[in-house]
Homo-oligomer: A and B are copies of this chain.
Amino acid sequence: MDSFFEPRSVAVVGASARPQSLGHVLLKNIIDGGFRGDIFPVNPRADSILGLRAYPSILDVESEVELAVIMIPSSVIIDVVGQCGRKGVKALVVISAGFSEAGNADLEAELLREAEKWGMRVIGPNCAGILNTGNSLFATIESRIRLGRIAFSTQSGALGGAILAWAENEGIGFSKFVSYGNQCDVDESDLLQYLGDDSETEVITLYIEGVKDGRKFFETAKRVAAVKPVIVMKGGMSETGAGAVQSHTGSLAGSGRMYRAVFAQTGLTYVNTIEEMFDMAKALVYQGRAEGGDVAVLTNSGGPAVMVSDELDELGLSVPEPIPGIKERLSFLPPFTSIRNPVDLTAGGSPENYAKVLEALFSQGQYDAGMVICVPPLSLDAAEVAKALVEAKSGIGKPVVTCFMAGQLVEEAVRILEESGIPNFPTPKRAARALSALVRRRR
């Protein structure tokens, strides 16, 4: 699999000089992304593309080619795969469509046979490509994204691309991205295992519609989930959705109940929405696992604290009252403060009090994780609260997430928090769900 994600050289077969064409976008992504190995555009009707010499055929390239990314009509694919084989290419990413998803299962089988003949592995066909931010390889037709520690593997290329664009807007970075399309050879389990072994990936996120080999997936999932968090979103959990899957990728979606059981037994975290998947991934990357499910909530506003309490309860986490040792340390607070849990500072929510109360709450080893809510009144500078929290948090060895709410009033505060590794979420419920991902379920 290293030939896919860590190649020394890449050929772009079907590179095009025509802007807007996918063959152009692909080559441009690889060049502009800053790939440090050799890049060889292959196109019989061009001498050079985007400033690079173009080759009529991959066989005309003088140096070695490790990875070939292919974006040509499916009608000529078999010849081209044969040429790649003779050239000694190790890995193929076939972006071209027109295979089993369009009723041409025979052509897809022939593609696989030809690749196997030469010992080449294949990702695709009918996919959006792969990327590895760690070595600046952007072999994809999707937009480029920032470096991070989340890997994302997706069966749907377009949804994958839309999610990357959405994540970029949310400031989320990725270690690896792979759209595997029809998975004629490399399948979701191979990729899951690879990402499980990848030291640059801390959290794995998956979008799957149907699994190719159930037993293999079950065993891989169990193995990988024991090592790092795996969060999965599954299309086609309902009957209606399963019908849509069939006409989308031709996969059998299987029953939603069966999948839920598989996810639970293997230790995968099943989520229902895109936000939830990346909120959880962000919380895990920034803060790591909690040891248990006892959560301390600190707020300056009752409403969001109520919403968080409801959600934590539904998620099976606890919001227990502070033990006497903590209450004693909180006795400096003004009398109108509620020193139950949530601790509600109300108007007493100064930066100093936020910091002192957070330290007090984690002074006795009672709580496993913390949630800090701040809805700044106009008289409170949210950025100052953020700075105080960042300092207080540094002495606490437990995960803490925040919910600073109020649009533009908290933008600077959120930047300060997230630059210091404290993840912020825009609503109380999203913060609660993200926090729940840090707690390993007792089974």
Which residues of A come within 8 Å of B, CB atoms? 20-22, 25, 97, 102-103, 141, 143, 154-156, 158-162, 165-166, 168-169, 207, 209, 235-241, 243-245, 247-249, 272-275, 300-307, 309-310, 312-314, 318-319, 336, 338, 340, 342, 344, 346-347, 375, 377-379, 405-409, 426-427, 429-430
Contacts and interface: CB of A to CB of B under 8 A. Distances in A.
Nearest to A126: B346
B240 A313 contact: yes
Contact of A166 (B169, B245, B426): B426
A49 to B, nearest CB: 17
Contact of A162 (B161, B272, B304): B304
A133 to B, nearest CB: 17
Contact of A241 (B166, B309, B409): B309
Contacts of A406: 161-162, 165-166
Most buried by B among A169, A207, A238, A239: A238
A218 B396 CA distance: 47
Contacts of A305: 244, 248
For the complex of A and B, the 4 pairs showing the least CB-CB separation, nearest first, are A156-B303, A248-B302, A159-B303, A241-B310
Contacts of A319: 240, 244
Contacts of A377: 22, 141, 158, 161
Given A238-B310, A336-B102, A375 B158 contact: yes
Given A166-B406, A273-B429, A406-B165, A306 B241 contact: yes
B313 A238 contact: yes
22 contacts: A22-B378, A156-B301, A158-B301, A158-B302, A158-B303, A159-B307, A162-B405, A165-B405, A165-B409, A169-B407, A209-B303, A236-B306, A241-B309, A243-B309, A243-B340, A248-B305, A248-B306, A248-B338, A249-B302, A272-B429, A274-B427, A275-B427
A69 to B, nearest CB: 16
A347 to B, nearest CB: 7
Contacts of A304: 156, 158-159, 162
A142 to B, nearest CB: 9
Given A158-B375, A406-B162, A338 B209 contact: no
